[in-house]
């Protein structure tokens, strides 16, 4: 044992004496908690000052009005006496108001008369469980479904719009307009009509967002070739309008010319799926004097960001137009983390035209994309994967960067050549033949390596048998080009990328990487520092790779400078200086990248990483079991079980990367002392340091300057009248001796008794915002509160929360934090003594989406747990930039299902407790069951079925209430009934649509107030 001096908690006393929690604005949220986020998902809940201890429905700052097809515009617009038309509401509502639109068809044009305000938008929202439709009926009396001119801060949510005369939506000279959860549809296109070229026309408008919507069929497609794009964004010549618009998380199908045409600057298109069986995906174009516009019009397209999109189909028209994933005729674009596949012509083309308006492309940065299975064997074009060409016209095309992309499996051309990459640059000002194109760190397929090399040896170039073609030189393999132009071609390799599952013939494209892939850790650095320095302004050779916040619309990039990480605040693109959110120290020519796992960035759209898993401890033995998989019911070979070997047997166990080698190893804290080892598995080599307070140990990467994990202890004391207050004491210095200096962070009063919270406080740490720095989270009962304020900041602010629920009643469970899906963000989980591990992959307030892993009991049932990663990787960089949507696999087994409606009083349903039947002609079977909610959960309904989805059909009653939906012993959702209405609302539905095919047990537990259950709409398997 190591002897230490006794620590006196002076700093803790000073913290209590020096900080007034209640009077400090940064700590009011910890003293009185009220959760105001809707409880069915969305962002993490944030705290306000109203002291209640249970989730409440979303609150608004204005009035709430209702519109229904059976309403009357002479009524007051209440839920029982709604207005008849949306436009009537749109002429009256003001900032902060919400218009709830009941289901049905509204034949009208909606033109809001007023704007909202920052933080108080006007919202037009579909009533829960119902689908309102704004239908233009192809009539010239209704030019647009929605018309917004000179308006600000307005949201449309959950509405279907269709069949306009001109466009679905015109957003002109308008800012902060949001369209979310929408359906933009066109079932018909009468031959007598000529709609606008753009379904959603965004003109001279800033900071607008279209998200989580479906856009289908825009434009006429006569004989497979005509006009029309789902969305058009247009700016001006000085880049002050048409900027900072975000198009994200949408699905696009069938655009006659394309899905998005972007003729503006500083916009973001990300996390969308494009399946266009008519023509192309995205066209980014700087247009000068475009047709149909006033003379002198210059739509500058500069510094647009296109990332994390899936281009899974682009057909060619009957006239051989289109068939492109992305087409670029712009400047300074960032094209990264996209998947481009199954496009008939090119996955990606960077080009200019002699048409008088698309005249330039320069500094387009194309990196970390996956470009596979593009082209048709009947086409003669070179470069089915990637083409950079000004078609011999000598127009401005230069300084393209192509780095760390996978270009693989693109089809052979009509004449049998395999030139999958084409560079065709003419014009002396462009520095032909390569146009200063940087081609580095890419992994490409060489389908005929022997023939290619023989041709090079014999003829000086490879002809049609090599993968890379350059006009004026010929074709060659990677070695050929790297020897010829080493300044521009370097770090590339040839081979099979080792996708998880790649079978184009059967439509299977899981393009994530598997262990051993040639693409892992093999990418080239993006750029480097120009000089050594210390500060928060970073000089780099090329800042075009990176993205700032785009006017506050997205989170800026997190970059890695050497081994340090920081978030970008702003970019001086002209001088290539990046302002960071923290002070760093760097050497000259230090590599600068986005975050990555391992020893270097990977190649392609997906960064490979093993997810975090759990380690189990049994202190009584003492023994540990490291689990290397998240597989349910893992085999015995997945465990590494060993005696811990420490002489401390009664402490609390943690895991951490104590020496910065990327491997998390054991640590144990007991009675003020912390012991750790850097050895994997059983170890007799332990180092001890003295911390002092005898609290709860928490480990994590708490500092930007530390290359190893830090160890901290959460101490507590009574802080009347508010309850128990907490402070974190920590050190990142584990090598300077047995008594390292300590830092502290004031955590404040968290989840207190006075606000109705019960249970033991459990603490953990994780990276909840992707900045590479861990911060503290606390769990108490079914609630979690967490912060993104790092421990190096003295005063914390726990302004985020999650309702994790009680997925198991076996015991209280152990709170764990980890990156379970390698997406850069840590999330939460609970490990129970019966060997059940429930985790969430999101930080939403209550998405209800649990993942269950039955880890078993390899070392007994009296366990605690922590987090570790079996695959190594850099500690503190707990994730990486990856494509947000999962890879799409189109080959799925055929499962036959049907809907089956089961009444709540059916014999198949087992009631427990006090349920009463109520007759009503409005109910599904003219009867429903009702009960009072109890905290004990004694009133429940249970049904077993075999299927894939379920809908709980319930009533909103005049009295408030709540019930919990439990599927297979997992509490997946709590439904809050706000009450306050005069008549019950029937046919309200809560949908669970993500079940695995097979047997399931559904249980409804009434937990509060009045609960009324009508029926269960089950999607069952057909034998």
Rounded Cα–Cα distance for residues 556 and 553 (Å): 9
Please report which confidence band the pLDDT of residue 173 belongs to, taking 50, 70 and 90 as the band edges. very high
What pLDDT sits at residue 315?
Answer: 81
What pLDDT sits at residue 80?
Answer: 96
What pLDDT sits at residue 1016?
Answer: 94
Rounded Cα–Cα distance for residues 960 and 1008 (Å): 8
Do residues 380 and 414 touch, judged by C-beta distance below 8 A?
Answer: yes
Task: List alpha helices for 20-103, DSSP H.
Answer: 28-31, 86-90
Of the two residues 897 and 51, the one the predictor is more confident about is 897
Rounded Cα–Cα distance for residues 930 and 642 (Å): 53
Rounded Cα–Cα distance for residues 914 and 253 (Å): 50
Please report which confidence band the pLDDT of residue 937 belongs to, taking 50, 70 and 90 as the band edges. low
Please report which confidence band the pLDDT of residue 52 belongs to, taking 50, 70 and 90 as the band edges. very low
Q: What is the mean pLDDT of residues 335-362?
A: 91
Q: What percent of the chain has pLDDT over 90?
A: 63
Of the two residues 267 and 50, the one the predictor is more confident about is 267
Q: Out of 2.60.120.260, 2.40.33.20, 3.40.640.10, 2.60.40.1170, which CATH number does the structure's domain 897-1021 have? A: 2.60.120.260
Do residues 856 and 633 touch, judged by C-beta distance below 8 A?
Answer: yes
Please report which confidence band the pLDDT of residue 3 belongs to, taking 50, 70 and 90 as the band edges. very low
Q: What is the mean pLDDT of residues 307-336?
A: 87
Residue 820 has pLDDT above 50, yes or no: yes
What pLDDT sits at residue 383?
Answer: 67
Considering only 221-230, 589-598, 905-914, which range has the smallest mean pLDDT? Answer: 221-230
What DSSP letter does each residue of 689-751 carry, written as one string? EE--S-SEEEEE---TT-SS-EEEEEEEEEETTTEEEEEEEEES--SS-SS---EEEEEEE-S
What pLDDT sits at residue 704?
Answer: 79
Residue 83 has pLDDT above 90, yes or no: yes
Residue 322 has pLDDT above 50, yes or no: yes
Phi, psi angle pair for 766, to nearest 5°: -165, 175
Rounded Cα–Cα distance for residues 3 and 95 (Å): 65
Q: What is the mean pLDDT of residues 783-802?
A: 93
Span 375-425, pLDDT tens digits: 876 665 666 899 999 999 999 999 999 999 999 998 887 778 898 999 999
Q: Which of 220, 417, 882 is nearest to 608 (CA)?
A: 882
- Burial of residue 5 (CB within 10 Å: 0-12, 13-18, 19+) is exposed
Of the two residues 934 and 753, the one the predictor is more confident about is 753
DSSP β-bridge partners for residue 538: 578
Rounded Cα–Cα distance for residues 882 and 340 (Å): 15
The sign one gets for the Cα dihedral 508, 510, 516, 520 is positive
Please report which confidence band the pLDDT of residue 655 belongs to, taking 50, 70 and 90 as the band edges. very high
- Domain positions in the chain are 64-196, 527-594, 613-868, 897-1021
Rounded Cα–Cα distance for residues 10 and 537 (Å): 37
Rounded Cα–Cα distance for residues 1017 and 924 (Å): 10
Distance of CA 917 to the CA centre of its chain: 44
Q: What is the mean pLDDT of residues 759-784?
A: 94
Span 661-682, pLDDT tens digits: 888 999 999 989 999 999 887 7
Residue 10 has pLDDT above 70, yes or no: no
Note the pTM of the prediction, 2 decimals. 0.76
Work out the mean pLDDT of the chain and round it to a whole number: 86
What pLDDT sits at residue 53?
Answer: 24
What pLDDT sits at residue 379?
Answer: 66
Q: What is the mean pLDDT of residues 934-963?
A: 84
Of the two residues 90 and 3, the one the predictor is more confident about is 90
727-756 per-residue burial string, b: 16 or more CB within 10 A, e: under 16: bbbbbbebeeeeebebbbbbbbbbbbeebe
Phi, psi angle pair for 10, to nearest 5°: -65, -45
Please report which confidence band the pLDDT of residue 870 belongs to, taking 50, 70 and 90 as the band edges. low
Span 430-474, pLDDT tens digits: 999 999 999 999 999 999 999 999 999 999 999 999 999 999 999
What pLDDT sits at residue 989?
Answer: 84
């Amino acid at each position: 044992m190591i002897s230490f001096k006794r620590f006196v908690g002076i700093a803790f006393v000073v913290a209590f004496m020096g900080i007034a929690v209640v009077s400090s604005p940064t700590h009011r949220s910890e003293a009185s908690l009220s959760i105001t986020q809707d409880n069915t998902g969305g962002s993490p809940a944030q705290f306000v000052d109203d002291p209640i201890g249970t989730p409440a429905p979303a609150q608004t700052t204005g009035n709430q009005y209702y519109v229904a097809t059976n309403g009357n515009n002479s009524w007051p617009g209440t839920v029982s006496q709604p207005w008849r038309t949306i436009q009537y509401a749109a002429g009256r509502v003001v900032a902060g108001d919400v218009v709830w639109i009941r289901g049905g068809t509204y034949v009208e044009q909606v033109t809001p008369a007023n704007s909202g305000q920052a933080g108080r938008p006007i919202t037009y929202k579909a009533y829960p469980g119902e689908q309102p439709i704004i239908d233009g009926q192809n009539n010239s009396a209704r030019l647009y479904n929605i018309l917004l001119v000179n308006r600000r801060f307005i949201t449309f949510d959950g509405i279907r719009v269709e069949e306009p005369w001109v466009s679905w939506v015109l957003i002109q000279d308008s800012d902060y307009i949001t369209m979310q959860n929408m359906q933009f549809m066109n079932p018909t296109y009468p031959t007598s009509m000529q709609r606008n070229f753009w379904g959603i026309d965004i003109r001279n408008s800033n900071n607008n967002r279209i998200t989580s919507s479906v856009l289908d069929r825009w434009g006429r497609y006569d004989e497979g070739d005509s006009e029309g794009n789902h969305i058009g964004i247009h700016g001006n010549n000085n880049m002050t309008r048409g900027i900072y618009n975000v198009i994200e998380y949408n699905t696009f199908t069938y655009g006659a010319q394309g899905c998005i045409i972007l003729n503006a600057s500083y916009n973001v298109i990300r996390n969308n799926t494009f399946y266009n069986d008519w023509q192309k995906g995205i066209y980014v174009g700087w247009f000068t004097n475009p047709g149909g516009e006033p003379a002198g019009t210059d739509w500058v397209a500069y510094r647009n960001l296109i990332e994390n999109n899936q281009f899974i189909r682009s057909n060619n028209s009957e006239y051989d137009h289109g068939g492109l994933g992305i087409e670029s005729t712009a400047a300074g674009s960032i094209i990264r983390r996209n998947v481009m596949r199954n496009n008939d012509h090119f996955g990606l083309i960077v080009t200019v035209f002699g048409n008088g308006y698309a005249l330039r492309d320069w500094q387009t940065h194309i990196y970390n994309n996956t470009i596979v299975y593009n082209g048709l064997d009947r086409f003669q074009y070179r470069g089915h994967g990637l083409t950079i060409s000004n078609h011999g016209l000598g127009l401005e095309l230069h300084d393209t960067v192509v780095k760390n992309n996978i270009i693989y499996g693109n089809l052979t051309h009509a004449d049998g050549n395999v030139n999958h990459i084409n560079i065709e640059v003419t014009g002396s000002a462009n520095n032909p033949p390569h146009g200063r194109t940087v081609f580095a760190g890419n992994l490409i397929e060489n389908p005929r390596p022997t023939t290619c090399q023989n041709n090079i040896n014999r003829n000086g170039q490879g002809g049609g048998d090599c993968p890379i073609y350059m006009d004026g030189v010929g074709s060659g393999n990677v070695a050929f080009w790297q020897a010829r132009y080493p300044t521009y071609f370097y770090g590339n390799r040839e081979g099979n990328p080792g996708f998880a599952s790649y079978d184009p013939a059967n439509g299977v494209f899981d393009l994530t990487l598997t262990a051993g892939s040639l693409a892992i850790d093999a990418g080239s650095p993006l750029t480097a520092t120009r000089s050594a320095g210390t500060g928060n302004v970073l000089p780099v050779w090329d800042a075009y790779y990176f993205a700032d916040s785009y006017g506050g619309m997205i989170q800026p990039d997190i970059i890695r400078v050497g081994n340090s990480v920081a978030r970008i605040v702003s970019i001086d693109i002209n001088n290539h200086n990046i302002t960071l959110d923290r002070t760093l120290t760097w050497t000259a020519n230090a590599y600068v990248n986005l975050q990555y796992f391992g020893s270097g960035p990977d190649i392609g759209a997906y960064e490979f990483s093993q997810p975090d898993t759990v380690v189990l401890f049994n202190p009584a033995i003492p023994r540990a079991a490291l689990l290397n998989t998240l597989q349910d019911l893992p085999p015995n070979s997945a465990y590494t079980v060993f005696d811990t070997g420490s002489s401390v047997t009664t402490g609390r166990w943690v895991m951490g990367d104590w020496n910065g080698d990327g491997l998390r190893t054991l640590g144990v804290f007991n009675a003020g002392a912390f012991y750790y080892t850097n050895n994997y598995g059983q170890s007799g080599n332990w180092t001890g340091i003295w911390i002092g307070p005898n609290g709860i140990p928490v480990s994590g990467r708490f500092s930007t300057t530390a290359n190893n994990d830090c160890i901290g202890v959460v101490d507590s004391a009574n802080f009347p009248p508010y309850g128990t207050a907490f402070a974190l004491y920590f050190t990142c210095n584990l090598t300077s001796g047995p008594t390292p200096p300590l830092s502290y962070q004031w955590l404040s009063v968290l989840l207190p008794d006075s606000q109705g919270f019960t249970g033991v406080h459990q603490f953990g740490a994780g990276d909840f915002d992707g900045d590479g720095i861990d911060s503290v989270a606390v769990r108490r009962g079914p609630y979690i509160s967490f912060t993104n304020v790092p421990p190096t900041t003295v005063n914390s602010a726990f302004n985020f929360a999650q309702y994790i629920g009680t997925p198991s009643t076996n015991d209280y469970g152990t709170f764990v934090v980890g990156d379970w899906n390698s997406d850069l963000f840590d999330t939460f989980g609970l490990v129970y003594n019966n060997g059940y591990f429930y985790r969430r992959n999101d930080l939403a307030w209550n998405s209800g989406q649990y993942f269950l892993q039955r880890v078993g009991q390899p070392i007994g049932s009296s366990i605690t747990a922590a987090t570790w990663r079996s695959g190594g990787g850099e500690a503190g960089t707990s994730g990486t930039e990856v494509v947000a949507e999962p890879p799409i696999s189109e080959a799925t087994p055929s499962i036959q299902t049907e809907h089956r409606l089961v009444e709540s009083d059916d014999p198949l349903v087992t009631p427990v407790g006090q349920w009463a039947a109520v007759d009503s002609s409005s109910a599904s079977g003219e009867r429903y069951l009702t009960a009072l909610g109890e905290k004990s959960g004694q009133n429940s309904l249970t049904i077993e079925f075999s299927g894939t989805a379920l809908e709980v059909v319930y009533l909103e009653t005049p009295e408030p209430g709540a019930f919990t939906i439990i599927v297979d012993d997992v509490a997946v959702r709590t439904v809050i009934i706000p009450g306050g209405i005069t008549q019950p609302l029937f046919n309200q539905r809560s949908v669970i649509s993500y079940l695995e095919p097979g047997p399931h047990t559904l249980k409804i537990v009434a937990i509060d107030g009045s609960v009324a259950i009508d029926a269960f709409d089950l999607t069952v398997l057909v034998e």
